C-alpha cells in the first residue's frame, strides 16, 4: 500500500504550506506531533488503490470496512481497534484522497480530530489536479479564492425548448438582486446555471464563490462560511476570513443547501435577514453585500413542511425558482452535448448505437452522458462505434426496450445482477429519474442505490459516495 501514499508526508506538506503562507500554519506542524500519517491519493478516474480495501499489512493497519464507511458517509471515522482516524479529502465535491492518522499515545480526543480535519481540508486542495503552470502555493490560492467569470466562459449547450426556457429565466433574474433557488437532479448543471446568472449580473466583475454544503463536515462548515477569530478554537492561531466575506460585493453559491444542518441554517438565516455576520469566536458584526444563489436535488418545500428544513430560510432562499431540466426531458440536446464533449465523435457512431443513446433515460443526466462519451472516445480508436461498444447499462436498456412487448419471465440464463440492474433502471424510468422515490420503491436506502448505480457504470465514484 505504501507506494500509493504519495511522495510527500503530511508534515512536509504542512512545512511547504508554512513557506508559502509565511508560517501561518505553523501550529499544525507543532500540534500534529501526536500522530503518524499516511496519504492515499485517487487516480485520474477518482478511484482509490484497490489494496486499501483488501489488505492492511503496512502502515497504517486498519479495518478496510471502516474506510468503506468513511467513503459512504463522506465523513471522517475512527477505526476503534487500531485508533486510526480516517478522513476523506474532498475538493469541490470530489474525492481526491484519504488521510490516515494513527495515534501514537492514546485514544483520539475531539480537539485533535478537528486539527486532523483542518489538515485534510488543506490536503484536499493540494491533492486536487493542479492547472498547468501553477506552483503549489499559487494553485492553493487560486482554488481557495473567488473566481471572476465572464458570460463567454459559461456555455449552455443545446437548442431544446426546456433549455431555452431556462436561458430566458436566467436573463430575466440576472440583473436583479433576488435570491434564486435552483432545483434539479444530480448532474443536470445547477452550478452552471448559477455561474451564468452571476456572469450576466451587475456583479459580474466581483467574486463568484461556490461551496458544496454536503461535502464539508458540520464542524468545519461554519468556519468556512463565516470565518473565525484567532483563538476561537484549538488550532485557530490566525484570523481567517470566511467565504461570505470573500464573496462581498459578488455572489455566493450554496450547492446542496438541503444538506446543511438545522443549527447552521439558523445562522445563515440571520445573515440573510441582517446582512451581517459574526466570525466564529468574534463579537464584532461584519457587514457584507452578497447575492445568494442556492441549489438542491431535494424537495425543500416538503422538508420545510415536515421540519427537516427551516421554513423561514426556505422562503428567504426561494424568492425565484429555476428548475434545471433532466437530460431525458431535453433529449434533442444529446447530439449537441456529445459534439461539445468530443468533437467529431458523432460521425463514428452507428445509427443503431445513436438510437440507443437517444432512447436511454440518462438517470445520471449530463454527467453520465459525459462519462459515456469519454468512454466511447477512448475505446473506439477512431473506428465505427456500434451498439456493442456502448456502456453495459445503455445496452441493457436497449435490450429491455426490445423485449418490452414480450410477456412472461426473463430468460433463465440471465444473471441475477443483470436482472437487478434492469429492474432498477425500469424503476428509475418509472419515477422519471427521482432516485429517492426509486429507492423507496425498491426497499433500499438511497446510499445503496447510489452504490449500485456506480457499480453499473452509471455514476462516478464521487456521486456514489453521497
User: Residue 438: pLDDT band by 50, 70, 90 thresholds?
Assistant: confident
State the DSSP string of 398-441: HHHHHTTT--SPPPTTS-HHHHHHHHHHHHHHHTTT-HHHHHHH
From CA 219, how far away is CA 143, in angstroms rounded? 21
CB atoms under 10 Å from CB of 394, counted, come to 22
| Of 74, 101, 143, nearest in space to 5 by CA | 101
A 10 A CB-CB count for 71 gives 22
Q: Is the CB of residue 4 less than 8 Å from the CB of residue 41? A: yes
Q: What is the pLDDT of residues 52-106, one digit of tens each?
A: 776 554 556 777 888 888 887 777 888 877 788 888 887 766 788 888 888 776 7
Residue 228: which H helix or E strand, with range? strand 227-228
pLDDT interval class at 332 (50, 70, 90):
very high
> In the prediction, which pLDDT does 251 show?
93
- Supply the pLDDT for residue 180: 93
Contact between 457 and 395 under an 8 Å Cβ cutoff? The reply is: no
In the predicted model, is pLDDT for residue 261 greater than 80?
Answer: yes
What pLDDT shows up at residue 31?
41
Alpha-helix runs per DSSP H in 146-297:
161-173, 190-199, 218-226, 243-246, 262-274
CATH classification code of 151-323: 3.40.50.300
pLDDT at 405: 41
Mean per-residue pLDDT for 169-195? 90
Report residue 151's pLDDT band, with 50, 70 and 90 as the boundaries: low
Q: Which three cell numbers stand for residue 319?
A: 424568492
Which CATH number describes the domain made up of 2-138?
3.30.450
- The CATH code of domain 329-464 reads 1.10.8.60
Residue 458 DSSP symbol = S
> Which of 131-135, 271-275, 351-355 shows the lowest per-residue confidence on average (mean pLDDT)?
131-135
For residue 20 the three cell numbers come to 508559502
For the stretch 382-400, pLDDT in tens is: 788 888 788 777 876 655 5
Q: How many Å apart are CA 303 and CA 316, to the nearest integer?
A: 15
pLDDT score of 34: 61
pLDDT at 466 over 60: no
The answer to whether 2-138 and 329-464 have equal CATH topology is no
- What is the pTM assigned to this prediction? 0.58
**Domain extents in the chain:** 2-138, 151-323, 329-464
Q: Which one has a higher pLDDT value, 203 or 410? A: 203
Spatial distance between the Cα atoms of 109 and 175, rounded to a whole number of angstroms: 49
Q: How far is CA 272 from the centre of its chain?
A: 25
Spatial distance between the Cα atoms of 173 and 201, rounded to a whole number of angstroms: 8
**What is the average pLDDT value for the chain, to the nearest integer?**
76
Output the DSSP codes for 137-177: HHHHHHHHS-B---GGG-------HHHHHHHHHHHHHTTS-
From residue 238, alpha-carbon distances to 212, 230, 235, 422, 434 in Å are: 24, 5, 9, 54, 45
Amino acid at each position: 500500500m505504501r507506494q500509493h501514499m504519495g511522495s510527500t508526508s503530511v508534515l512536509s506538506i504542512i512545512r511547504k504550506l508554512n513557506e508559502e503562507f509565511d508560517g501561518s500554519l505553523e501550529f499544525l506542524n507543532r500540534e500534529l506531533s501526536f500522530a503518524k500519517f499516511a496519504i492515499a491519493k485517487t487516480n485520474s478516474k477518482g478511484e482509490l488503490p484497490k489494496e486499501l480495501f483488501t489488505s492492511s499489512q503496512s502502515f497504517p493497519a486498519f479495518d478496510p470496512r471502516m474506510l468503506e464507511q468513511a467513503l459512504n458517509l463522506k465523513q471522517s471515522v475512527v477505526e476503534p481497534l487500531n485508533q486510526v482516524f480516517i478522513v476523506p479529502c474532498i475538493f469541490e465535491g470530489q474525492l481526491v484522497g484519504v488521510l490516515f492518522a494513527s495515534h501514537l499515545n492514546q485514544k483520539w480526543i475531539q480537539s485533535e480530530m478537528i486539527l486532523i480535519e483542518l489538515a485534510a481540508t488543506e490536503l484536499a486542495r493540494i491533492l486536487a489536479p493542479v492547472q498547468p503552470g501553477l506552483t503549489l502555493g499559487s494553485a492553493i490560492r487560486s482554488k481557495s479564492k473567488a473566481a471572476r467569470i465572464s458570460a463567454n466562459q459559461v456555455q449552455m449547450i443545446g437548442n431544446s425548448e426546456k433549455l431555452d426556457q431556462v436561458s430566458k429565466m436566467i436573463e430575466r433574474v440576472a440583473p436583479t438582486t433576488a435570491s434564486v433557488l435552483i432545483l434539479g437532479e444530480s448532474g443536470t448543471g445547477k452550478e452552471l446555471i448559477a455561474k451564468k446568472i452571476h456572469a450576466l449580473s451587475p456583479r459580474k466583475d466581483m467574486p463568484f464563490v461556490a461551496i458544496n454544503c454536503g461535502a464539508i463536515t458540520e464542524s468545519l462548515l461554519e468556519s468556512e462560511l463565516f470565518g473565525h477569530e484567532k483563538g476561537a478554537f484549538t488550532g485557530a492561531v490566525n484570523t481567517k476570513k470566511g467565504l461570505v466575506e470573500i464573496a462581498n460585493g459578488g455572489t455566493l453559491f450554496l450547492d446542496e443547501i438541503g444538506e446543511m444542518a438545522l443549527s447552521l441554517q439558523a445562522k445563515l438565516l440571520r445573515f440573510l435577514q441582517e446582512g451581517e455576520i459574526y466570525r466564529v469566536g468574534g463579537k464584532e458584526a461584519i457587514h457584507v453585500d452578497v447575492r445568494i444563489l442556492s441549489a438542491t436535488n431535494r424537495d425543500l418545500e416538503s422538508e420545510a413542511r415536515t421540519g427537516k428544513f427551516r421554513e423561514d430560510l426556505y422562503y428567504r432562499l426561494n424568492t425565484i425558482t429555476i428548475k434545471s431540466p433532466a437530460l431525458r426531458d431535453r433529449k434533442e440536446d444529446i447530439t449537441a452535448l456529445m459534439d461539445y464533449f468530443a468533437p467529431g465523435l458523432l460521425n463514428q457512431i452507428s445509427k443503431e448505437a445513436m438510437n440507443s443513446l437517444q432512447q436511454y433515460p440518462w438517470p445520471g443526466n449530463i454527467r453520465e452522458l459525459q462519462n459515456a462519451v469519454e468512454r466511447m472516445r477512448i475505446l473506439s480508436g477512431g473506428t465505427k462505434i456500434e451498439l456493442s461498444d456502448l456502456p453495459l447499462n445503455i445496452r441493457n436498456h436497449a435490450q429491455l426496450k426490445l423485449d418490452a412487448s414480450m410477456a412472461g419471465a426473463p430468460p433463465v440464463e440471465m444473471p441475477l445482477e443483470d436482472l437487478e440492474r434492469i429492474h432498477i433502471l425500469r424503476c428509475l424510468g418509472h419515477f422519471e429519474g427521482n432516485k429517492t422515490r426509486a429507492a423507496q420503491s425498491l426497499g433500499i436506502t438511497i446510499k445503496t442505490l447510489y452504490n449500485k448505480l456506480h457499480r453499473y457504470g452509471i455514476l462516478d465514484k464521487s456521486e456514489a459516495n453521497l
